[in-house]
Amino acid sequence: MKKLSYGICFALLFSCNVWAADLNAIQIETLAKTNLSWDGSHLPSYSHGTPEVTILRIKIPPGAQLPLHTHPEINAGVLLSGELTVVTEDNRFLHLKAGESIVEVVNKWHYGKNESQEIAEIIVFYAGAVDMPITIKK
């Protein structure tokens, strides 16, 4: 019994050190923290109603352009690969490269286009409300 107790103690001791070493390797980087969208506009207050989070993975082929649209809810994303240009109706634009984040414009007509030679893949997080659309096409 004594040997079993020692064995358990050693196992716990060594597993804690490995776990602690793994924690030291964890890296956290804030990609975006703001109350402004990418064009400098203030973000609106959150919608009333039951909160609903939507996370989309969007893949835009080379040369493709999304239709003109707007978002009534706050959203933000990270471009995983490729390049993407977002253009507002008044011709303001933001060019994103892989790894960069975007806090999207809200209630403003805009579109995205992929002018690169590879698929633009972006993950977008929408902080909306139940029964509210996240995108409205013109």
Count of domains observed in the chain = 1
Query: Is 20 part of any domain?
Result: no
Name the pLDDT band for 119 (thresholds 50, 70, 90).
Answer: very high
Q: Which residue range forms the structural domain that includes residue 114?
A: 51-137
- Bridge partners (DSSP) of residue 84 are 96
> Is there a domain that residue 8 lies in?
no
pTM above threshold 0.85: no
pLDDT given for residue 6 in this prediction: 52
Does an H or E element contain 8, and which? helix 2-25
Q: What is the three-class DSSP state of 54? A: strand
Which tokens hold the place of 123? 């993950």
35-55, pLDDT tens digit by residue? 999 999 999 999 889 999 999
Residue 30 lies in a domain: no
